[in-house]
Amino acid sequence: MSRIVGILALVLVAAGIWQSIEVYRFVQRSIAVPASVVAVEALRGPPKPRQRTPIRVAFSLPDGTAREALTHLPMLQVIKKGDSITVLVDSKDPERVALPLWSELWARPLTYIVGGVLVGILGFALTKREWR
């Protein structure tokens, strides 16, 4: 049992590190551009704890090309149609857009890493218990 928990911990930490690298690469190659909110999607049904509302934003790239893309509204933030915001746009893939918020970029990788460490501690505790 403790080996399974240990493997799970390693997988979670590895996934967190991989996602951290991907976020770092995105941040390094992205450019911050002003954007306007074109639409805030209405989601059906009652709100769910981890529900992220899609928003459509319009922006212009530095070369003058006008684009629209879909990103997500952070859970604790209020953005309305017509608001002016700043978005990060991937210079290699202009369809990839994210809000320049620490919570939007780094929450998932850090959750995997912290979860993996906690599962690892649990695995260590199980190993100590089995040896007694």
When divided into structural domains, the chain yields a total of 1
- 48: pLDDT confidence band, cut at 50, 70 and 90? low
Residues 74-93 have a mean pLDDT of 85
Residues 55 and 71: beta-carbon distance below 8 Å: yes
Q: Is 8 helix (H, G, I), strand (E, B) or coil?
A: helix
**pLDDT for the residue 18:** 97
Alpha-carbon gap, residue 101 to 20, rounded angstroms: 15
Alpha-carbon gap, residue 73 to 57, rounded angstroms: 11
Higher model confidence: residue 18 or residue 122? Answer: 18
Alpha-carbon gap, residue 53 to 69, rounded angstroms: 14
**pLDDT for the residue 109:** 94
Q: Which domain holds residue 107?
A: 2-131
**pLDDT for the residue 132:** 54
